[in-house]
A and B are shown apart, each in its own frame.
Chain A
């Protein structure tokens, strides 16, 4: 019998819906996001795809997965309800003092994001826990009650609690939560010792503040979603995509919205992992380029790289350090301010610069004809002939070629280059920026990026991926099908998974295994509860362990994946060996005789990788034989133009070639050859690389 699973991805502009049948048939649709009531768009999407498939809600008996930007939007718009912050007395200004760091040494005009919770809604309590976990001063119930009274007066609906050293012992925070639950059950309480039990008070406070700020938005939203799905006859509790590349039950997710922030991009990275398995290519780079930013993620051994800390809402020129830090596990994403709407300009030195300023979607590039006057990356693509003014979005949106051309005349004058060379320059420089960001990101993580295949998606990704591949010395680019709803699809190939982190600082030679048992035991049972809630059977639970370690005296940790349960092996020697190996891989160094310290323990609790059928490629369509002139490196060439749906498994198409589909355009350079893979993906491979590989095989 056919089973159906459903994915809904709510983005800033569109809500994407994917319905996947167990035989691989897929039904996709897009509808406008309904910002006033997101559920309206959600269920419109559900209705659209169900109607296409001719099924009813109760036929969707496999998972319902949801990814959403609701949390990120709330943070950027700052329209949340009033929230309070409870801190240890004497440390009132943690969110204002931050790390005392000026993130750009040279720029005296830098700015920081205003704290999410202002001073007038910050309270301090007489309480103290020391670094060894001992409680020097317990919380006073009367003082908490006094705070509750003030919260009520100020109309506070949610509080964040971050006491010093609570990562080591959360008893004082728990006591606050207990009294709030008794006296003011209507107020949401987020504890830093639960949300992010890690050392470093600013990071923890920032994280729990973000959680408290968004809980009043996500709790009612997800509760209503659960109720509405039930009312419509859906059998399953919905699963929510988290930033770490896993999904989790909606009930649990609603208490930890800070873990949902990167849920859309994480889903994109998960698609890359999915295709890395289909193609049996363990290591690749996912490359997603949209209107304002490009995102890339390194996939290693079919898994995305994960980071412990990232930043949201960069307020000053997209600069790292100008936003709010969050310390929860998240897909490790390279994000650079270079998208289709990024503006090209010429600086004082006569150099061509792109971004970080973006024309966004309003007014957008010049060619959108909505009043934009600055030449953008998309304008360059149009001037070069890579895009066709009459076929953008399948012809639904007319592009203004003349406007774009005249913008490039102006830019060309400033560069002392003809229009077409200026446009090619923009194409080249934006690709180089992405390649450079990828090189730095990979090198910092000890990964040799050279030759790693690219998986390209997003509106502007397939246009630029082949050029980026040239610059990262890659010889293969994969263009998956369903590019326009790929993130939604990604949530369906994502396992149920939660990543937990807990600081427990100790040198390896002084490690006490009973303490480790306690820490890891608590994490494992928390993970198991979360998996159970998401409907996973106990037999399918898997737990993997990792540690963040460093040489004693260092400040940054190296993440060590343990392929065993350290509680069972109880061997510090094994852990040390893995640390030394990883450290050597990343930095080319091994330091003999130095003590090694464990800072954080990490546990990943996961269900099985879902084995849903691969999406079937779209049906073929009639071939049209045509060409159009494209300005490549300043010279016009007649480039064949193909419709993606007309390409069959036996076609071998030599570049340069343009391949059009409704939502995007693939541009493949000369020296590359395109073929179609059984998954429906198109694959571009570089000749030289291919010849060499064949020779090797022979």
Chain B
């Protein structure tokens, strides 16, 4: 296949999944999907290798989906799949690391034969159990566990499963709406792939897929071969809600001969009793993200581009969650996974890495009754701190890395819930100093206008120590979380008084290079 033909077919495959992802994002009820793009759409070949992925989403999802198709097929009778079948699971170890994420996989038939699979993962608005936050003591408290099953069999819905799901979640209509959108997205992807085969006279995509995967793997290995071989170390330390301090340590080995990178997390913190443990697939997702976004960000994601990056996880480790550890708020640790790796890579490709930033976005949920006594529960909403600086550019203020989640506008929140904001501005000087300074965090204040008590559930992090500067750059400032002017450490589900004022400052990003 020459470079012209392959370019055309490849961009067509990416077009198919991107179209579907954008449609899903627009119609999703789940706020984290529509605002944060917390979803993934992938196309897999007949061997369940990911061959194309939508250019959307957060790293946590998009890279976890890569392994999901194989996992699902290994857990069902793959040989008996027929047209109209749709597989489902939310098993944290099979896809994206907590129950909220439901993965749907549909076989794509061309005539009698399966030529590939269309998959999607989205973060649903509720999955029963504990709800948002890290407070559950084991995984079973966290919600409904859906093993790999057929949601549809030959086009017929599995009514039993639908009823079980409906009865076990708090927002059944929204979940069913989003699930329906996922299923229809699989059907459309299947139509589009068949249309592509018709247009270019292909019987299947196996040759195309092989070509894409091989070239991507070769390109990644070649990029790694250009680096100086050796083992490089990086560590990151941060505090999570409740004050617990987590250490992530990595030894990044660049094998310049094989063109391979192995990341060993030996020495990182042990599992936590809180729901912040990270399953291997999610750790893998953020670890490969750190490498790929520094090494060759333009290369599309697929089985080939991910293959040369491998992980070694210690048996007892916060980033190697085991049953029955709680995993609900795994992003609180997962979003820090890139930083120790970037610090190690800073010794190899200093011009392409990012200094440590504020890390996980701060998430908030409010509930109570409005002035008239009508109950409300908000969706989860979130705010960013500052991004770390780059080698030739400052960090961006009020923007997150490694995710890039949008914030819900103040006016949208005020129009939807009885909340009033007193401020939302940059907190100048919170970004670390440096040749290039880190991005600034923000100051955000709000209260309720209900005259009643209410509930607040916040997940801040880095309230004790700010992000470290890189190569002589200054540290970013730690965050602040106050109620009525008093610092609060334990932020899990608090009962609030009618006039309570919440005030917070999100952390700044680390600077790059000495001033």
| In the bound complex, CA of A349 to CA of B401 (Å) | 27
Binary A-proximity of B411-440 (CB < 8 A = 1, otherwise 0): 110110000111111100000000000000
| In the bound complex, CA of A554 to CA of B178 (Å) | 10
| Best-buried of A93, A201, A444, A551 by chain B (most CB within 10 Å) | A93
A165 to chain B, nearest CB (A): 6
Contact A101 B29 (CB under 8 A): no
A476 to chain B, nearest CB (A): 18
Instruction: Say if the beta carbon of A593 comes within 8 Å of chain B.
Output: yes
| Best-buried of A348, A505, A593 by chain B (most CB within 10 Å) | A348
Instruction: Say if the beta carbon of A573 comes within 8 Å of chain B.
Output: no
Contact B425 A428 (CB under 8 A): no
Binary B-proximity of A430-469 (CB < 8 A = 1, otherwise 0): 0011001001100110000000000000000000000000
Instruction: Say if the beta carbon of A54 comes within 8 Å of chain B.
Output: no
Binary B-proximity of A522-563 (CB < 8 A = 1, otherwise 0): 000000000000000000000000000001011110000000
| In the bound complex, CA of A588 to CA of B187 (Å) | 11
Contact A108 B426 (CB under 8 A): no
Task: Please choose the segment from B16-24, B129-137, B153-161 that sits at the chain A interface, where 4 or more of its residues have CB less than 8 A away.
Answer: B16-24
| In the bound complex, CA of A91 to CA of B442 (Å) | 11
Would A199 and B4 be within 8 Å (CB), given that A101-B404, A105-B59, A551-B29 are in contact? no
Query: Do most interface residues of chain A lie in helix, strand or loop, or is the interface mixed?
Result: loop
Contact A428 B23 (CB under 8 A): no
Task: Please choose the segment from B234-242, B293-301, B485-493 that sits at the chain A interface, where 4 or more of its residues have CB less than 8 A away.
Answer: B293-301
| In the bound complex, CA of A165 to CA of B410 (Å) | 9
Instruction: Say if the beta carbon of A610 comes within 8 Å of chain B.
Output: no
Instruction: Say if the beta carbon of B223 comes within 8 Å of chain A.
Output: yes
Would A588 and B184 be within 8 Å (CB), given that A96-B426, A109-B390, A109-B393 are in contact? yes
| In the bound complex, CA of A565 to CA of B296 (Å) | 55
Contact A91 B3 (CB under 8 A): no
| In the bound complex, CA of A346 to CA of B215 (Å) | 14
Would A352 and B297 be within 8 Å (CB), given that A112-B396, A199-B412, A593-B173 are in contact? no
Among A97, A102, A353, A436, the residue within 8 A (CB) of B12 is A436
Contacts of A587 in B (CB 8 A): 23, 27, 181, 184
Contacts of A551 in B (CB 8 A): 29, 177
Contact A101 B405 (CB under 8 A): yes
B199 to chain A, nearest CB (A): 8
Instruction: Say if the beta carbon of A591 comes within 8 Å of chain B.
Output: yes
Contacts of A92 in B (CB 8 A): 425-426
| In the bound complex, CA of A273 to CA of B472 (Å) | 60
Binary B-proximity of A344-365 (CB < 8 A = 1, otherwise 0): 0011111111000000000000
Closest A residue to B214 by CB, please name it: A349
A594 to chain B, nearest CB (A): 5
Contact B3 A106 (CB under 8 A): no
| In the bound complex, CA of A347 to CA of B174 (Å) | 43
| In the bound complex, CA of A130 to CA of B35 (Å) | 23
Contact B398 A97 (CB under 8 A): yes
Closest A residue to B342 by CB, please name it: A108
Among A91, A203, A348, the residue within 8 A (CB) of B296 is A348
Q: Report the count of interface residues on A (CB-CB < 8 A).
A: 68
Contacts of B415 in A (CB 8 A): 131, 165, 199, 505
Contact B35 A555 (CB under 8 A): yes
Contact B184 A100 (CB under 8 A): no
| In the bound complex, CA of A64 to CA of B459 (Å) | 61
Contact B58 A105 (CB under 8 A): yes
Interface members, chain B 130-187 (any A CB < 8 Å): 173-174, 176-177, 180-181, 184
Instruction: Say if the beta carbon of B453 comes within 8 Å of chain A.
Output: no
| In the bound complex, CA of A96 to CA of B424 (Å) | 11
Among A90, A164, A353, the residue within 8 A (CB) of B425 is A90
Would A440 and B181 be within 8 Å (CB), given that A348-B296, A352-B7, A429-B8 are in contact? no
Closest B residue to A592 by CB, please name it: B173
Binary A-proximity of B273-299 (CB < 8 A = 1, otherwise 0): 000000000000000010011101111
Would A100 and B383 be within 8 Å (CB), given that A200-B411, A443-B19, A555-B34 are in contact? yes
Contact A555 B19 (CB under 8 A): no
Contacts of A112 in B (CB 8 A): 396
Binary B-proximity of A155-190 (CB < 8 A = 1, otherwise 0): 000000000110100000000000000000000000
Contact B58 A351 (CB under 8 A): no
Contacts of B218 in A (CB 8 A): 349
Contacts of B313 in A (CB 8 A): none
Binary B-proximity of A490-525 (CB < 8 A = 1, otherwise 0): 000000000000000100000000000000000000
Contact A103 B404 (CB under 8 A): yes
Contact B181 A350 (CB under 8 A): no
Contact B411 A97 (CB under 8 A): no
Among B56, B293, B409, the residue within 8 A (CB) of A108 is B293
Contacts of A556 in B (CB 8 A): 25-27, 34
Contact A417 B401 (CB under 8 A): no
Contacts of B56 in A (CB 8 A): 105
Would A111 and B393 be within 8 Å (CB), given that A100-B405, A415-B2, A553-B174 are in contact? yes
| In the bound complex, CA of A421 to CA of B449 (Å) | 69
Contact B406 A432 (CB under 8 A): no
A332 to chain B, nearest CB (A): 14
Among B2, B219, B352, the residue within 8 A (CB) of A417 is B2
B446 to chain A, nearest CB (A): 10
| In the bound complex, CA of A282 to CA of B399 (Å) | 45
Contact B4 A352 (CB under 8 A): yes
B138 to chain A, nearest CB (A): 30
Closest A residue to B410 by CB, please name it: A201
Instruction: Say if the beta carbon of B347 comes within 8 Å of chain A.
Output: no
Interface members, chain A 581-602 (any B CB < 8 Å): 587-589, 591, 593-594
Interface members, chain A 406-438 (any B CB < 8 Å): 415-417, 421, 424-425, 428-429, 432-433, 436
B315 to chain A, nearest CB (A): 31
Contacts of A489 in B (CB 8 A): none
Contact B3 A352 (CB under 8 A): yes
Contacts of B390 in A (CB 8 A): 108-109
Contact A93 B173 (CB under 8 A): no
Contacts of A554 in B (CB 8 A): 27-29, 34
A327 to chain B, nearest CB (A): 12
B208 to chain A, nearest CB (A): 13
Instruction: Say if the beta carbon of B15 comes within 8 Å of chain A.
Output: yes
Closest A residue to B9 by CB, please name it: A432
| In the bound complex, CA of A396 to CA of B420 (Å) | 65
Contact A429 B7 (CB under 8 A): yes
Instruction: Say if the beta carbon of B445 comes within 8 Å of chain A.
Output: yes
Instruction: Say if the beta carbon of A202 comes within 8 Å of chain B.
Output: yes
Contacts of A593 in B (CB 8 A): 173
Would A100 and B399 be within 8 Å (CB), given that A348-B219, A436-B15, A551-B29 are in contact? yes
Instruction: Say if the beta carbon of B31 comes within 8 Å of chain A.
Output: yes
Contact A108 B3 (CB under 8 A): no
Instruction: Say if the beta carbon of A99 comes within 8 Å of chain B.
Output: yes
Instruction: Say if the beta carbon of B483 comes within 8 Å of chain A.
Output: no
Contact A589 B412 (CB under 8 A): no
Contacts of B414 in A (CB 8 A): 130-131, 164-165
Interface members, chain A 275-295 (any B CB < 8 Å): none
Instruction: Say if the beta carbon of B103 comes within 8 Å of chain A.
Output: no
Given contacts A97-B442, A104-B404, A107-B298, 15 further A-B contacts (CB under 8 A): A91-B425, A97-B425, A100-B400, A102-B399, A102-B400, A108-B294, A348-B299, A424-B4, A425-B3, A436-B11, A440-B15, A440-B19, A444-B19, A587-B27, A591-B177
**A and B contact pairs by CB, cutoff 8 A, 21 listed:** A90-B445, A93-B425, A96-B426, A97-B425, A101-B405, A102-B399, A104-B404, A105-B402, A107-B298, A165-B414, A425-B3, A429-B4, A429-B8, A439-B15, A444-B23, A556-B25, A556-B34, A587-B181, A589-B177, A589-B184, A594-B177
- Report the 8 A-B pairs with minimum CB-CB distance, sorted nearest first: A102-B404, A90-B423, A425-B4, A131-B414, A555-B34, A101-B406, A100-B407, A106-B297
Interface residues of A (CB under 8 A from B): 90-93, 96-112, 130-131, 164-165, 167, 199-203, 346-353, 415-417, 421, 424-425, 428-429, 432-433, 436, 439-440, 443-444, 471, 473, 505, 551, 553-556, 587-589, 591, 593-594
